[in-house]
Structure 1
Amino acid sequence: MSNVNTGELLDFQDYSPDHNNRSARIDVEAVHTNQYNNTMSNPNYNFEEPKEIQEPEAAPQSNHNFWTIEYYQKYFDVHTNEVVERIISSVLPQKVSRNYFDERIKGKPDLYGPIWISVTLIFTIAVSGNIASYLQNANKKGFVWRYDFHLVSIAATAISCYVWLVPLALWAALKWTSSNDAHDEIENQDSKSPTMMSLFCLYGYSLSIYIPVAVLWTIQVFWLQWLFVLMAAFVSGAVLIFWLMPALRKSKYFLILIGSILAFHFLLAAGFMLYFFHQPSSADVIVTTTTPIPAPKV
């Protein structure tokens, strides 16, 4: 390498405008001329016209009717780990994040988990209720125990009405009693009232605690049965209030809605215990006796 005087590099150089323009024009023209000559001298060169880049078309969004099966397909598109996670969050909400309902359930509610939980609870209550009936009257003389198939239909009617009608009433109450202004809705999207499907989903998962409690209700200890009633009603009701607290605070009847949620859960648990598992008094028991057939005379 040749020696370069650093002093000359640090000094300001004076170039005339004509010299700058001419140098730049010569360099640019030389570059384009060399590229053109190299391209044309290549025997394998083929000129190709530029092709237009076509952007991928967006998939058309189909709006299915409310009365069609395709409309409900999205509510059954859920993975097993999501169902398990939602069941755990309905019993132990501290296991998930504080905004779990707004981030996971409100944006993507499902009906797969609530339907299976309701069906499982129906058969669990019917079977456990018959077991409790057998344990209550097994030692009574002259009592012939028979399985009561009507308990399935009664449990199905009670659970179906509760899962569908109570969330519908709560959705209407939140919709017509909330005092959200436009400024609050823009700043805080989580304060919006939950959708109807998200309430169906939330109430369906809140019944999961009643499945193990229905088995424990077969223990024929009166005070223990009522303890399970209070525990199930408090846990399921408290989880609902925990997830719906931002929406409940926007209602004019905040305390009334909280009391109603707890009261309905307590009535449901007490109704299950008193009708299916409670031992009635001796005066109300209908004992079926068998009349002995006299032996034929010889």
Structure 2
Amino acid sequence: MVPLSGEEARGGQVATEADTVSLREAPRGVMDSGGPPAGGQSQGFRGFGGMLTSGPSSLEERVAGVEGWAGSWLSYAQQLFDVSSDEVLKRLKLALVPFQGQEDAANDFRTRPDFYGPFWVATTSVLFLAATGNFARLLEMEDEQSFKSDFSLVSVAASMIYGLLVAVPLCARLGLYCSGQSVDCINFKQVICVYGYSLTPLIPMSVICLVPMAVLRWIAVLCCLVTSLAFIYGTLSADLAVEAPSLKWKVLGLFCGAHVINVMVYRIYFFHSIN
């Protein structure tokens, strides 16, 4: 009698070659043909790679997939923040040295205004103004142990920078409305973008004001003011002369007043207890 194997002794069946699974050839996902499932069964396995590539492949497609006002808002916000680091750096350099390439810069700000740079310039300016104001007081105190940071400078700087960043374009828009002109005759995205980048000279100015010399601080403040206004004039004056000629100097004067408030509040209020 031929001895039975273990499987046959337990009443099982002997595994044939068709029932075995080769470890050399791993099972692969089968792409579904897209037709209706036969016999009411579920669709075939698509494979992990197919699942990854089945969704939207780009930000534009994902934004387009959102419906209603949320999709419109995301699409609009994407345009305002669609700017590369190199472009932001180029605009920051132009704001610091506004006497070269003004015509090309004006065209660039007109066609592709962004809010990414102005937001970070304003935020950095708030931090630098508050920090340097406190640090300058520390440097000039004889008893450093009794020094206490004035955290109210943060709220003053934030109210001043962000408040004017919003109030200046709104006042310009209100001036257009009161004059009877169309509020759409001025590109306000360009106005906000240019004004935001014009705050860039505040950052090096605040660093220079750490030097305990009153004359040097006043020179830094005046240079900051001249640089910011030269940048605004070079990038906006030509467009304002075409879009709203009757309000050109009023809008530029509004920008001038806003920057005078920024630098004078910083120089006088932040350093009122020292030189």
TM-score (norm 2): 0.66
In the alignment, structure 1 segments of 5+ residues that lack a partner are 1-58, 181-191, 282-298
Deviation at 1:275, TM superposition (A): 1.6
* Cα separation, 1, equivalents of 2:202 and 2:102: 24
Q: Aligned to 1:124, which of 117, 121, 128?
A: 128
Does structure 2 conserve the Cα–Cα contact (< 8 Å) formed by 1:122 and 1:159? yes
The question of 1:205 aligning with 2:209 is answered no
Query: Partner residue of 2:103?
Result: 98
In the alignment, structure 2 segments of 5+ residues that lack a partner are 1-60
Q: CA offsets per residue over residues 179-222 of structure 1, 9 Å max, x none?
A: 79xxxxxxxxxxx9441211111111100110010111122222
Query: Partner residue of 1:136?
Result: 140
* Cα separation, 2, equivalents of 1:62 and 1:87: 34
- Give the match's secondary structure for 2:198: helix
Q: Aligned to 2:155, which of 153, 156, 161?
A: 153
Deviation at 1:271, TM superposition (A): 0.7
The 3 A distance-change label for structure 1 pair 146 and 156 is same
Query: Partner residue of 1:196?
Result: 188
Query: Partner residue of 1:22?
Result: none
Deviation at 1:280, TM superposition (A): 4.9
Bigger CA drift: 73-82 or 248-257?
A: 248-257
Hey, which bits of structure 1, 4+ residues long, moved more than 6 A?
59-64
Deviation at 1:125, TM superposition (A): 1.1
Deviation at 1:91, TM superposition (A): 2.4
Deviation at 1:121, TM superposition (A): 1.0
Deviation at 1:150, TM superposition (A): 2.5
Query: Partner residue of 1:41?
Result: none
CA RMSD of aligned residues (A): 3.0
Q: Which amino acid aligns with 1:217?
A: C
* Cα separation, 1, equivalents of 2:105 and 2:198: 15
The 3 A distance-change label for structure 1 pair 256 and 110 is closer
* Cα separation, 1, equivalents of 2:67 and 2:173: 24
* Cα separation, 1, equivalents of 2:227 and 2:185: 22
Deviation at 1:61, TM superposition (A): 11
The 3 A distance-change label for structure 1 pair 254 and 96 is closer
Query: Partner residue of 1:169?
Result: 171
Deviation at 1:267, TM superposition (A): 1.9
Does structure 2 conserve the Cα–Cα contact (< 8 Å) formed by 1:65 and 1:71? no
Deviation at 1:63, TM superposition (A): 9.2
Does structure 2 conserve the Cα–Cα contact (< 8 Å) formed by 1:131 and 1:218? yes
Query: Partner residue of 1:77?
Result: 82
Query: Partner residue of 2:256?
Result: 262
User: Radius of gyration: which is bigger?
Assistant: 1
Deviation at 1:71, TM superposition (A): 2.8
* Cα separation, 2, equivalents of 1:105 and 1:194: 13
Residues matched between the structures, number = 209
TM-score (norm 1): 0.61
Q: CA offsets per residue over residues 12-47 of structure 1, 9 Å max, x none?
A: xxxxxxxxxxxxxxxxxxxxxxxxxxxxxxxxxxxx
The 3 A distance-change label for structure 1 pair 256 and 78 is closer
**What pairs up with 1:21-60 in 2 under 5 angstroms?**
none
Does structure 2 conserve the Cα–Cα contact (< 8 Å) formed by 1:64 and 1:70? no
The question of 1:225 aligning with 2:225 is answered no
Deviation at 1:167, TM superposition (A): 2.2
Query: Partner residue of 1:293?
Result: none
Bigger CA drift: 78-87 or 221-230?
A: 221-230
Q: Which amino acid aligns with 2:170?
A: L
Bigger CA drift: 163-172 or 78-87?
A: 163-172
Query: Partner residue of 1:279?
Result: 273
- Give the match's secondary structure for 1:263: helix
- Give the match's secondary structure for 1:78: coil
Q: Which amino acid aligns with 2:208?
A: L
Q: Which amino acid aligns with 2:146?
A: V
The question of 1:245 aligning with 2:240 is answered no
Deviation at 1:116, TM superposition (A): 0.9
